[in-house]
Amino acid sequence: MDDQLRTAAENGDVDALYTKLADDPYILDRIDYMPIADTPLHVAAVAGKPHFAMEVANLKPSLAWKLNHMGLSPLHLALQHERKKMVRGLITLNAQVIRVKAKGMITPLHYLAQIDDPDLLAEFLSACPSSIEDTTVRCETAVHVAIRNGSIRCFKVLVGWLRRVDKEDVLNWKDEDGNTALHTAMVKLLIKNVKVNVKNFNDLTAMDIFHLQGSLQNTEIGTILHKAKAKKASDLTSNMTLGDYFSKELSLIDKRDKYFGNSSQKNSNDVRTVILVVAILIATASYQAGLSPPGGYWQDDYIPPSANNGTDNTNSSSSLGQGQRAHRAGQMIMSPSDLFYFLIVNGLAFHLSVWTILIITIGLPFSGILSTSTSLLLFAYYASVVATFPTQGSESLNDGRILYIILTYISTLAVYLIPLRAFSEHQKLKRRVDTMRGSIVFATPEN
């Protein structure tokens, strides 16, 4: 780097910078062309000249990503020399510099987790949430780094932030040895967020590692693991391999994610929303039709004289009752054949639409409450049909009524229980996969 430019960077002389650029407009371009270079940004970061650094970063943003001969970026140097104004200035211009990987693929976020600066770490997470997904050359996340270096305050910040943004799965990512954060530090704060029976690449669970410690065992850690129902690898009932997992047929939940889209994908939300809205409309219309069937309900009781031992019926003594079939007030007026056809078709539409709603929403936040309320709606529909189905008539009508009520009850249970069981089995399968040797995703997903 030019001596005059270096001096200007050390002194934070912005006027000298522009004077140099007037003499040599391509000086920053030549520096940027070099793969490894000690740039004016590096010099300003060490000297603590944030205004000068921001001028250079504004003129040539790519210099903020450049590594020097020590494998460090300007942001890494600013952190090492505790130049917090410089740090905040650089991330204000471009928050993505938080993800620049220095020697050992260590990002500024990893460095903060290592030196135990929780406040600045929280600022980094807020400015660049995706930085939590970066891993070092040892496949370690910032959580691994914080634990390995005993940075308890940073560890608490990381776990709290992961909870708030619903990314607790990062706690289950494995380092190059196949260890999750639980294998690295078995503490109470992690027990609540990780799968305690995950195996590392040596087929060892956290409980196995605990027992291997021999005389160095910490009884408190053992108590924590027992309360969390941690097991030895030999005690796990699942012998499923990755080959077995991929050979299995797609589950109902897998098919939902395949055809309706996964809820974590932004472009799939529109598909789910359209299907959900249509299903809700059908459920609403069919439920209302079940409560208000064509023809309505009888307003009085009527039993024909021949069925009343020849005596007059007080509710049908007039000629208006002639030719009517037996009925009771509040029951459906429709003829038996039309009634069966209507209830079967309408009930099928209602049950299928509710089933679709449950399939799409199960597994989402508060889906348990939604499933419970939807099941109550199903049984309300069932109760309405039972209460208003004709009870007076021929023996075949009574047999049909009993058969229909049984089928409706079975359908109601099936609509509620099938999605619930499918999701439960899907979750069990996921937990089994997590106990396999290795992981389907080795360290991190694609960034």
CA distances from 94 to 30, 75, 109 (A): 22, 11, 15
Residue 443 domain flag: no
Total domains, the chain = 3
DSSP string, 12-76: T-HHHHHHHHHH-TTHHHHHHHSSB---HHHHHHHHT-HHHHHHHHHH-GGGGG-B-TTS--HHH
Examine residue 57 and state whether it is found in any structural domain, yes or no.
Answer: yes
**Confidence (pTM):** 0.53
**Across-strand partners of 327?**
302
Percent pLDDT > 90 in the chain is 12
Among 45-49, 51-55, 165-169, 261-265, the range scoring the smallest mean pLDDT is: 261-265
Of the three residues 41, 75, 100, the one that is the final residue of a domain is 100
Whether 270 and 349 map to the same domain: the answer is yes
Q: What is the mean pLDDT of the chain?
A: 78
311: DSSP letter: P
Residue 312 above 70 pLDDT? no
Model confidence band, residue 320 (pLDDT cutoffs 50, 70, 90): very low
Tell me: do 261 and 381 sit in the same domain.
yes
Choose the final residue of a domain: 236, 265, 282.
Answer: 236
Q: Which positions ≥6 away from 263 have C-beta within 8 Å?
A: 269, 272, 363, 364
Whole-number pLDDT of residue 215: 60
According to DSSP, the residues that pair with 302 across neighbouring strands are 327
> DSSP class of residue 322?
T
- Do 44 and 123 lie in one domain? The reply is no
Average pLDDT (304-309) is 59
* Tens-digit pLDDT profile for residues 338-380: 888 888 888 888 888 888 888 888 877 777 788 888 888 888 8
- Position 326 in a domain: no
Task: Write down the pLDDT at residue 75.
Answer: 92
pLDDT at 231 over 80: no
Residue 185 belongs to a domain: yes
Give the pLDDT score at 213: 62
Residues 14 and 131 in one domain: no
Model pLDDT for residues 372-431, shown as the tens digit of each residue: 888 888 888 888 888 888 776 666 667 777 887 788 788 888 887 888 888 877 777 766
Q: Which two tokens stand for residue 376?
A: 């109550």
What is the pLDDT at residue 189? Answer: 53
Q: Residue 315: is its pLDDT beyond 70? A: no
Q: Same structural domain for residues 170 and 289?
A: no
**CA dihedral over 113, 118, 121, 125, signed as positive or negative:** positive
Give the structural domain span for 202. Answer: 108-236
In single-letter form, the type of residue at position 398 comes to N
Whether residues 112 and 203 share a domain: the answer is yes
Q: Which residue has the tokens 């889209």?
A: 261
- The verdict on 126 and 85 lying in the same domain is no
Question: Alpha helices, DSSP H only, in 116-251?
Answer: 118-127, 142-148, 152-164, 181-184, 188-191, 206-212, 219-227, 242-247
pLDDT tens for residues 254-301? 777 776 665 445 455 677 788 888 888 988 888 888 888 888 888 888
Q: Is the pLDDT of residue 443 over 50?
A: no
Q: Are residues 91 and 117 in the same domain?
A: no
Q: Do 22 and 124 share a domain, yes or no?
A: no
Quote the CA–CA distance of 152 and 303 in Å, as a whole number: 81
- Beta-bridged to residue 213, according to DSSP, are none
In this prediction, residue 274 carries a pLDDT of: 81
Determine the pLDDT at residue 374: 83
Please report the pLDDT score of residue 108 as a whole number. Answer: 93
Token pair of 420, please?
A: 């619930």
**Domain shared by 121 and 217, yes or no:** yes
**Where among 100, 121, 153 does a domain terminate?**
100
* Structural domain includes residue 306: no
Is residue 245, in this structure, part of any structural domain at all? Answer: no
Residue 339 is assigned to a structural domain of this protein: yes
Provide the pLDDT for residue 77.
92
> How far apart, in whole angstroms, are the C-alpha atoms of residue 363 and residue 424?
10
- How many other C-beta atoms are found inside a 10 Å radius of the C-beta of residue 370? 15
Mean pLDDT, residues 114-133: 89
Residues 268 and 178 in one domain: no
- For the stretch 60-65, contacts whose Cβ atoms lie closer than 8 Å and that sit 24 or more positions apart, written own/partner, are 60/28, 60/29, 60/31, 60/32, 61/93, 61/94, 62/32, 63/28, 63/31, 63/32, 63/39, 64/90, 64/93, 64/94, 64/97, 64/100, 65/97, 65/100
Residue 439 pLDDT grade (very low, low, confident, very high; cuts 50, 70, 90): very low
68 and 14 in a common domain = yes
Q: What is the CATH number of the domain that holds 184?
A: 1.25.40.20
Evaluate whether residue 322 is within a structural domain. no
